[in-house]
Amino acid sequence: MQLPDEADGWRDDNCTAAAGSAAAGVPAAVYYLHAASNATQCRLANLDFNKDNWNIAYSPENVAFDRVNSSNSRQLSVRLKGTTGARMSSKDGDQLYGAWQVQARVTGAPGAVTAFYLRSNDVYPNDKAGNFSEIDVEWLNGNPAREPGSLWFNAFTNSNSTGELLIPPPVYQTLLGWPTNKTAINSFVTYTINWQPTYVTWAVDGSHLRSMRNGEFRTWFDMGGKEQSAVFQSPNLPSRATISMWSDTSRGKKPADMFGGVLDAKKGPHFSYFKQMRRVLCEKPLPAGQEAAAGPAWLTASVKGA
């Protein structure tokens, strides 16, 4: 699944107009299908990387918004200097369900963790956060990963992990048909989280790599090798897009307990880069009495002869 640019979406009134126009064809939803589309409007809400759109929780000196060539869009760079990185979240409120997509090229430094995720609050660490929801894409270059540029997918419902999955480069290269010299470290890659009431999927360059559906029984092994299990339930708290870069090295943990491995703080700084944040947000109810049989007023296209 690849989300389009803002200019590719129809105006809301085109759905109604096209439904009664034989010349225009029948409107058909493309790119995205929401499980509650009969009751909910979804909309494109792409988010540029500029300082007005993001709250920086700490170390703003490690965040830069750089203009991309001569275009109006910007690229985000996040720096890990010593053991200090940064964390930032979108300013435009929390949403419940939809799709979030971003392009990223991340550092491969052992001990450095880069993350793109949806989070219902900004309280850390997790054991201090109360009840929270989270859906993660993280890039690991060490523990429990054995190879730099490994992908880590997970979700939290009611503050509990519902199934961790680590995908090393040789595996995702095979699944995606990539050459062996292409990884998440040396290439900009598109990552998409599709969050629905009954399931969550993770996609890389438009290809699904993981899906979890309500009621599925999941088992996995934690970093200590202990088997864990949970019945998946899609996260159910409104959340916001969050990006962070950090290291466990300064947190007083034993090396075996450091998520992402041990960082050599004398090396660096290390950088990860993000661009083209695209979103489909599905928080707006349809007006009373309005049906969505022709598709909700978002992401539609005229299909000739349909």
Question: For residue 3, what pLDDT band results from cuts at 50, 70 and 90?
Answer: low
CB count within 10 Å of CB 17 equals 12
Is 288 in contact with 41 (CB distance < 8 Å)? no
Q: What is the pTM of this model?
A: 0.84
Tell me: the pLDDT tens digits for 203-252?
Answer: 999 999 999 999 999 999 888 889 999 999 999 999 999 999 999 998 88
Report the distance separating Cα 232 and Cα 289, nearest Å: 34
CB 279 within 8 A of CB 76: no
| Measured distance CA(253)–CA(237) in Å, rounded | 30
Listed ranges 34-43, 172-181, 275-284; the one with the highest mean pLDDT: 172-181
- pLDDT, greater one: 53 or 15: 53
What would the CATH number be for the domain defined by 43-285?
Answer: 2.60.120.200
Looking at residue 2, its pLDDT comes to 62
Domain range list for the chain? 43-285
In contact, 54 and 116? CB cutoff 8 Å: no
Q: Tens of pLDDT along 42-90?
A: 777 889 999 999 999 999 999 999 887 766 678 999 999 999 999 999 9
**Cβ atoms of residues 134 and 103 within 8 Å:** no
pLDDT at 45: 83
